[in-house]
Amino acid sequence: MASLRKSFPIVARDFVHAGEASIHVQNILKSMHLEPALIRRIAICCYEGEMNAVIHGGNGQIHMDIEADRLALEIIDDGPGIEDIDRAMQPGYSTASEEAREMGFGAGMGLTNMKNHSDEIHIDSAPGQGTCVHMHFSFDGKKAVS
Amino acid sequence: MRELEARVLLGEDGLNAEITRCGASDLMSDVLARPTDGILLLTGLTSVQTVRTSKIAGVVAIVFVRGKTPLPEVIEVAKTQQMPLFSTSYGMFACCGRLHALGLTGLDGRR
Protein backbone atom coordinates (compact mmCIF):
# COMPACT_ATOMS: atom_id res chain seq x y z
CA MET A 1 0.00 0.00 0.00
CA ALA A 2 1.64 3.24 -1.15
CA SER A 3 1.56 6.23 1.13
CA LEU A 4 2.64 9.81 0.73
CA ARG A 5 4.22 11.93 3.48
CA LYS A 6 4.49 15.70 3.32
CA SER A 7 5.94 17.93 6.04
CA PHE A 8 5.83 21.68 6.51
CA PRO A 9 7.59 23.88 9.08
CA ILE A 10 5.70 26.23 11.42
CA VAL A 11 7.39 29.40 12.68
CA ALA A 12 6.20 30.73 16.06
CA ARG A 13 4.48 34.12 15.98
CA ASP A 14 5.06 34.58 12.25
CA PHE A 15 1.60 36.02 11.60
CA VAL A 16 2.57 37.24 8.13
CA HIS A 17 3.06 33.73 6.75
CA ALA A 18 0.84 31.79 9.17
CA GLY A 19 -1.64 29.67 7.25
CA GLU A 20 0.44 29.30 4.10
CA ALA A 21 1.28 25.68 4.90
CA SER A 22 -2.40 24.82 5.28
CA ILE A 23 -3.25 26.43 1.95
CA HIS A 24 -0.43 24.36 0.46
CA VAL A 25 -2.01 21.23 2.02
CA GLN A 26 -5.41 22.26 0.61
CA ASN A 27 -3.90 22.64 -2.88
CA ILE A 28 -2.20 19.22 -2.69
CA LEU A 29 -5.50 17.59 -1.70
CA LYS A 30 -7.34 19.42 -4.50
CA SER A 31 -4.80 18.15 -7.03
CA MET A 32 -5.51 14.61 -5.76
CA HIS A 33 -9.21 15.12 -6.47
CA LEU A 34 -10.40 14.15 -3.02
CA GLU A 35 -14.02 14.92 -2.22
CA PRO A 36 -14.42 18.73 -1.68
CA ALA A 37 -16.19 18.34 1.67
CA LEU A 38 -13.35 16.12 2.93
CA ILE A 39 -10.71 18.56 1.67
CA ARG A 40 -12.48 21.36 3.51
CA ARG A 41 -12.54 19.37 6.78
CA ILE A 42 -8.84 18.50 6.53
CA ALA A 43 -7.86 22.05 5.54
CA ILE A 44 -9.80 23.55 8.48
CA CYS A 45 -8.13 21.18 10.96
CA CYS A 46 -4.70 21.83 9.50
CA TYR A 47 -5.20 25.60 9.54
CA GLU A 48 -6.54 25.69 13.10
CA GLY A 49 -3.62 23.53 14.22
CA GLU A 50 -1.13 25.66 12.36
CA MET A 51 -2.58 28.85 13.87
CA ASN A 52 -2.55 27.32 17.37
CA ALA A 53 1.13 26.49 16.97
CA VAL A 54 1.92 29.98 15.62
CA ILE A 55 -0.05 31.68 18.41
CA HIS A 56 0.85 29.53 21.42
CA GLY A 57 3.63 27.28 20.34
CA GLY A 58 7.27 27.48 19.72
CA ASN A 59 8.35 26.41 16.27
CA GLY A 60 6.85 23.22 14.93
CA GLN A 61 5.94 21.01 12.01
CA ILE A 62 2.91 19.73 10.18
CA HIS A 63 3.14 16.13 8.99
CA MET A 64 0.55 14.79 6.59
CA ASP A 65 0.45 11.07 5.76
CA ILE A 66 -1.88 10.06 2.97
CA GLU A 67 -2.66 6.38 2.88
CA ALA A 68 -5.00 4.36 0.70
CA ASP A 69 -8.02 4.67 2.96
CA ARG A 70 -7.23 7.53 5.31
CA LEU A 71 -5.20 10.64 5.97
CA ALA A 72 -3.28 11.32 9.17
CA LEU A 73 -2.39 14.85 10.21
CA GLU A 74 0.09 15.58 12.98
CA ILE A 75 0.77 19.09 14.22
CA ILE A 76 3.71 19.33 16.58
CA ASP A 77 5.10 22.34 18.39
CA ASP A 78 7.72 22.83 21.08
CA GLY A 79 5.78 25.60 22.83
CA PRO A 80 4.70 25.80 26.47
CA GLY A 81 2.26 22.88 26.24
CA ILE A 82 -1.37 22.73 27.45
CA GLU A 83 -1.99 22.73 31.19
CA ASP A 84 -5.56 21.42 31.16
CA ILE A 85 -6.50 19.70 27.87
CA ASP A 86 -10.17 19.20 28.85
CA ARG A 87 -10.50 22.90 29.55
CA ALA A 88 -8.70 23.83 26.30
CA MET A 89 -11.26 21.68 24.42
CA GLN A 90 -14.20 23.70 25.82
CA PRO A 91 -15.77 25.90 23.11
CA GLY A 92 -15.01 29.55 23.84
CA TYR A 93 -12.06 28.90 26.15
CA SER A 94 -8.98 30.78 24.97
CA THR A 95 -5.61 31.91 26.25
CA ALA A 96 -4.66 33.67 23.00
CA SER A 97 -2.53 36.81 23.14
CA GLU A 98 -3.75 40.27 22.24
CA GLU A 99 -1.67 40.02 19.07
CA ALA A 100 -3.51 36.84 18.03
CA ARG A 101 -6.88 38.42 18.84
CA GLU A 102 -6.07 41.34 16.57
CA MET A 103 -5.65 38.81 13.76
CA GLY A 104 -9.18 37.47 14.37
CA PHE A 105 -8.20 34.50 16.54
CA GLY A 106 -8.81 33.76 20.20
CA ALA A 107 -12.51 32.90 19.78
CA GLY A 108 -11.74 29.72 21.71
CA MET A 109 -12.96 27.53 18.84
CA GLY A 110 -9.68 26.14 17.51
CA LEU A 111 -9.55 22.73 19.20
CA THR A 112 -13.35 22.45 19.05
CA ASN A 113 -13.24 22.99 15.29
CA MET A 114 -10.49 20.39 14.96
CA LYS A 115 -12.50 17.89 16.99
CA ASN A 116 -15.69 18.52 15.01
CA HIS A 117 -14.04 18.30 11.59
CA SER A 118 -11.81 15.24 12.13
CA ASP A 119 -12.84 11.58 12.49
CA GLU A 120 -10.43 11.06 15.38
CA ILE A 121 -8.35 13.46 17.45
CA HIS A 122 -5.76 12.83 20.11
CA ILE A 123 -3.74 15.49 21.93
CA ASP A 124 -0.42 14.79 23.66
CA SER A 125 0.68 17.73 25.76
CA ALA A 126 2.00 18.71 29.15
CA PRO A 127 3.36 21.99 30.54
CA GLY A 128 6.90 22.54 29.30
CA GLN A 129 6.72 19.58 26.91
CA GLY A 130 5.17 21.06 23.79
CA THR A 131 2.04 19.83 22.08
CA CYS A 132 1.28 17.18 19.48
CA VAL A 133 -2.17 16.98 17.94
CA HIS A 134 -2.92 13.82 15.92
CA MET A 135 -5.97 13.70 13.67
CA HIS A 136 -7.34 11.05 11.33
CA PHE A 137 -9.67 11.37 8.40
CA SER A 138 -11.26 8.32 6.79
CA PHE A 139 -11.84 8.22 3.04
CA ASP A 140 -14.84 5.89 3.45
CA GLY A 141 -13.36 3.30 1.18
CA LYS A 142 -12.51 5.76 -1.60
CA LYS A 143 -8.96 5.28 -2.73
CA ALA A 144 -6.80 8.40 -2.67
CA VAL A 145 -3.37 7.00 -3.43
CA SER A 146 -2.83 4.13 -5.84
CA MET B 1 -22.47 44.77 -4.35
CA ARG B 2 -24.53 47.59 -5.82
CA GLU B 3 -26.78 47.34 -2.77
CA LEU B 4 -23.79 47.94 -0.50
CA GLU B 5 -22.35 50.65 -2.77
CA ALA B 6 -19.17 48.61 -2.48
CA ARG B 7 -15.89 49.50 -4.08
CA VAL B 8 -14.06 46.70 -5.88
CA LEU B 9 -10.58 46.21 -4.43
CA LEU B 10 -9.78 43.04 -6.32
CA GLY B 11 -11.32 40.54 -8.71
CA GLU B 12 -14.24 42.30 -10.36
CA ASP B 13 -14.70 39.39 -12.76
CA GLY B 14 -14.28 36.74 -10.08
CA LEU B 15 -17.90 36.92 -8.99
CA ASN B 16 -19.69 34.89 -11.63
CA ALA B 17 -21.21 32.43 -9.21
CA GLU B 18 -24.55 33.38 -7.69
CA ILE B 19 -24.26 33.86 -3.94
CA THR B 20 -27.30 33.01 -1.83
CA ARG B 21 -25.78 32.82 1.66
CA CYS B 22 -23.92 35.37 3.71
CA GLY B 23 -22.01 35.39 6.99
CA ALA B 24 -20.80 38.29 9.13
CA SER B 25 -17.96 37.89 11.63
CA ASP B 26 -14.73 39.38 12.90
CA LEU B 27 -13.68 36.12 14.54
CA MET B 28 -11.97 33.72 12.16
CA SER B 29 -12.45 30.52 14.16
CA ASP B 30 -16.17 31.27 14.27
CA VAL B 31 -16.08 31.42 10.47
CA LEU B 32 -14.33 28.04 10.36
CA ALA B 33 -16.84 26.52 12.78
CA ARG B 34 -19.81 27.05 10.47
CA PRO B 35 -20.87 25.89 6.97
CA THR B 36 -19.19 28.70 5.05
CA ASP B 37 -18.61 26.98 1.71
CA GLY B 38 -19.75 29.31 -1.09
CA ILE B 39 -20.72 32.27 1.09
CA LEU B 40 -20.11 36.00 0.99
CA LEU B 41 -18.21 37.10 4.12
CA LEU B 42 -18.80 40.50 5.72
CA THR B 43 -16.02 41.45 8.12
CA GLY B 44 -14.27 44.38 9.73
CA LEU B 45 -11.05 42.43 10.04
CA THR B 46 -8.55 43.37 7.33
CA SER B 47 -5.62 41.13 8.34
CA VAL B 48 -3.98 38.65 5.98
CA GLN B 49 -5.56 35.88 8.05
CA THR B 50 -9.01 37.00 6.85
CA VAL B 51 -7.92 36.07 3.32
CA ARG B 52 -6.32 32.76 4.33
CA THR B 53 -9.24 31.77 6.58
CA SER B 54 -11.64 32.56 3.73
CA LYS B 55 -9.63 30.43 1.32
CA ILE B 56 -9.58 27.49 3.73
CA ALA B 57 -13.29 27.88 4.52
CA GLY B 58 -14.43 28.11 0.88
CA VAL B 59 -15.65 31.73 1.10
CA VAL B 60 -16.39 33.12 -2.40
CA ALA B 61 -15.77 36.82 -1.74
CA ILE B 62 -14.97 39.18 1.15
CA VAL B 63 -16.63 42.55 1.85
CA PHE B 64 -14.81 44.79 4.33
CA VAL B 65 -17.33 46.90 6.24
CA ARG B 66 -17.06 50.32 7.96
CA GLY B 67 -14.99 51.68 5.06
CA LYS B 68 -11.99 49.53 5.88
CA THR B 69 -9.45 48.51 3.29
CA PRO B 70 -6.62 46.05 3.83
CA LEU B 71 -2.96 46.91 3.35
CA PRO B 72 -1.47 46.37 -0.14
CA GLU B 73 0.39 43.23 1.00
CA VAL B 74 -2.91 41.69 2.09
CA ILE B 75 -4.44 42.49 -1.31
CA GLU B 76 -1.36 40.85 -2.89
CA VAL B 77 -2.04 37.61 -0.96
CA ALA B 78 -5.71 37.74 -2.03
CA LYS B 79 -4.56 38.08 -5.63
CA THR B 80 -2.50 34.87 -5.43
CA GLN B 81 -5.46 33.12 -3.77
CA GLN B 82 -7.91 34.54 -6.34
CA MET B 83 -10.13 35.91 -3.59
CA PRO B 84 -12.34 38.87 -4.70
CA LEU B 85 -12.30 41.79 -2.22
CA PHE B 86 -14.75 44.65 -1.77
CA SER B 87 -15.05 47.58 0.61
CA THR B 88 -18.19 49.40 1.73
CA SER B 89 -18.72 52.44 3.92
CA TYR B 90 -21.78 50.82 5.53
CA GLY B 91 -21.43 49.23 8.95
CA MET B 92 -21.94 45.53 9.63
CA PHE B 93 -25.56 45.95 10.78
CA ALA B 94 -26.62 47.99 7.74
CA CYS B 95 -24.86 45.57 5.36
CA CYS B 96 -26.64 42.60 6.92
CA GLY B 97 -30.00 44.40 6.66
CA ARG B 98 -29.49 45.35 3.03
CA LEU B 99 -28.41 41.86 1.96
CA HIS B 100 -31.20 40.23 3.98
CA ALA B 101 -33.72 42.47 2.20
CA LEU B 102 -32.27 41.25 -1.11
CA GLY B 103 -33.16 37.68 -0.13
CA LEU B 104 -29.79 36.37 1.02
CA THR B 105 -29.90 33.81 3.82
CA GLY B 106 -27.62 32.96 6.73
CA LEU B 107 -25.09 30.13 6.62
CA ASP B 108 -27.70 27.46 7.41
CA GLY B 109 -30.05 28.73 4.70
CA ARG B 110 -32.47 30.37 7.13
CA ARG B 111 -33.62 33.97 6.97
Cα–Cα distance measured from residue A47 to residue A40, given in angstroms and rounded to the nearest whole number: 10
Residues in chain A closer than 8 A to B81 (CB atoms): 23
Tell me the pLDDT band of A32, cut-offs 50, 70 and 90: very high
Query: Looking at residue A12, what DSSP letter applies?
Result: T
CA-only gyration radius of chain A, Å: 15
Q: Cβ distance A28 to A6 under 8 Å?
A: yes
Q: Mean pLDDT across the stretch B51-73? A: 97
Residue B110 phi, psi (nearest 5):
-90, 155
* ipTM (interface predicted TM): 0.91
Residue B59 phi, psi (nearest 5):
-65, 140
With a cut of 80, say whether residue B49 has pLDDT above it. Answer: yes
Q: Mean pLDDT across the stretch B12-36? A: 87
> Nearest by CB to B30, which of A43, A44, A109?
A109
Run of H or E residues at A53: helix A36-56
Helix, strand and coil percent figures for chain B, each rounded to 5: 35, 20, 50
- Region for residue B23 given its phi and psi (left: phi exceeds 0; alpha: psi -120 to 50; beta: otherwise): beta
Q: Mean pLDDT across the stretch B39-43? A: 97
- Residues of A within an 8 Å Cβ radius of B: 15-16, 18-20, 22-23, 26, 36-37, 40, 43-44, 47-48, 51, 102-110, 112-113, 116
